[in-house]
């Protein structure tokens, strides 16, 4: 479900708007290990042995793309639907224990206070997205959210980023995208955003993020907050 607050600006105003686009899992919330465990167990229940490190490298892809990457072709839709449903059920057991990464909410509040329009770009939806937003605890700073329900193609396709820019009312050259996966970086590059920031807190190596298109790599939201005056967000002035 997409949420917005206030009217979107016209073309002239868009030239002044600054958009901060954020992935959520592994970027604002410490959920990647939970997803890895849930997918690993879902595959095990279906009779598949998929190493956890392989699952981790696929995180950030939409569910169907993740399943195809990890299972390969030749598996019927009923089996894939069953694995996906098992993952969702297993992951839901963690909803009340999801934690935000250090200073994630403070980062969003600081950016909003400085005039940035914040849009979440995530494949999560429904109860899962609600749990993530509760953990971050910064709804008053978030202008809009684009989820898997709002696009036909997920990251690394640029469609989610294009949709987020539309919701923010911003041009790509006035946007910063923050994520923790190579798919985030690839989507941002393909959407021609001004700056792609890769966070290491999701567990992806810095060299992989840079190879995928990251202009800057930092440890976590806390480090990004500390560098607001001189880091990636300082590249776009009000």
Question: Domain end: 93, 119, 139, which one?
Answer: 93
Q: What is the pTM of this model?
A: 0.92
From residue 66, alpha-carbon distances to 8, 132, 204 in Å are 34, 20, 16
Asked if the structure places residue 3 within a domain, the reply is no
In the predicted model, is pLDDT for residue 7 greater than 50?
A: no
Contact criterion met (CB below 8 Å) for 135 and 162: no
Between 16 and 82, the higher pLDDT residue: 82
Using pLDDT thresholds of 50, 70 and 90, give the confidence band for residue 4.
very low
177 and 86 inside one domain: no
Same domain, 17 and 58: no
* Whether residue 23 sits in one domain with residue 38: no
Residue 42 lies in a domain: yes
Q: Kindly state whether residues 121 and 40 are assigned to the same domain.
A: no
pLDDT at 27 over 90: yes
Q: Are residues 82 and 156 in the same domain?
A: no
> Which residue has 């910064």 as its token pair?
138
The three state secondary structure string of the chain is CCECCCCCCCHHHHCCCCEEEECCECCCECCHHHHHHHHHHHHHHCCCCCCHHHHHHHECECHHHHHHHHHCCCCCHHHHHHHHHHHHHHHHCCHHHCCECCCHHHHHHHHHHCCCEEEEECCCCHHHHHHHHHHHCCHHHEEEEECHHHCCCCCCCCHHHHHHHHHHCCCHHHEEEEECCHHHHHHHHHCCCCEEEEEHHHCCCHHHHHHCCCCEEECCHHHHHHCCCCCHHHHCCC
| Mean pLDDT calculated for residue range 42-51 | 97
Assess if residue 5 is contained within a domain. no
On whether residue 41 sits in a domain, the answer given is: yes
Give pLDDT tens digits for 134-167. 999 999 999 999 998 899 999 999 999 999 999 9
For 193, the token pair is 């955003």
Regarding whether 39 and 145 lie in a shared domain, the answer is no
Domain that holds residue 55: 32-93
Using a 10 angstrom Cβ sphere, with 0-12 exposed, 13-18 middle and 19 or more buried, the burial of residue 48 is middle
**pLDDT for 73:** 85
Domain boundary among 93, 120, 135: 93
Q: What is the dihedral of CA 141, 201, 56, 43, to 10 degrees?
A: -60
Average predicted confidence (pLDDT) for the chain = 94
Domains of the chain: total? 2
Query: Is 119 found in the same domain as 164?
Result: yes
Statement: residue 230 has pLDDT above 60: yes
For position 41, which CATH number holds? 1.10.150.240
């Amino acid at each position: 479900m997409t949420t917005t607050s206030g009217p979107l600006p016209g073309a002239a105003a868009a030239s002044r708007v600054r958009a901060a686009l954020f992935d959520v899992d592994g970027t604002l919330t410490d959920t990647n290990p939970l997803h890895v465990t849930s997918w690993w167990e879902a595959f095990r229940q279906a009779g598949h042995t998929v190493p956890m490190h392989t699952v981790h490298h696929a995180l950030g892809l939409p569910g169907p793309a993740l399943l195809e990457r990890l299972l390969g072709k030749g598996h019927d839709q009923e089996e894939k639907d069953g694995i996906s449903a098992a993952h969702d059920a297993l992951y839901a057991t963690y909803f009340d224990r999801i934690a935000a990464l250090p200073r994630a909410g403070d980062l969003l509040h600081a950016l909003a206070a400085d005039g940035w329009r914040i849009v979440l770009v995530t494949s999560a939806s429904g109860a899962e997205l609600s749990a993530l937003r509760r953990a971050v605890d910064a709804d008053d700073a978030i202008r809009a959210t684009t989820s898997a329900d709002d696009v036909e193609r997920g990251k690394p396709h640029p469609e989610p980023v294009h949709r987020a820019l539309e919701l923010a009312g911003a041009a790509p050259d006035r946007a910063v995208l923050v994520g923790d996966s190579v798919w985030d970086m690839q989507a941002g590059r393909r959407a021609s955003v001004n700056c792609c920031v890769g966070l290491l807190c999701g567990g992806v190596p810095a060299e992989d993020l840079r190879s995928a298109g990251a202009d800057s790599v930092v440890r976590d939201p806390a480090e990004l907050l500390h560098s607001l005056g001189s880091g990636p967000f300082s590249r776009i002035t009000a």
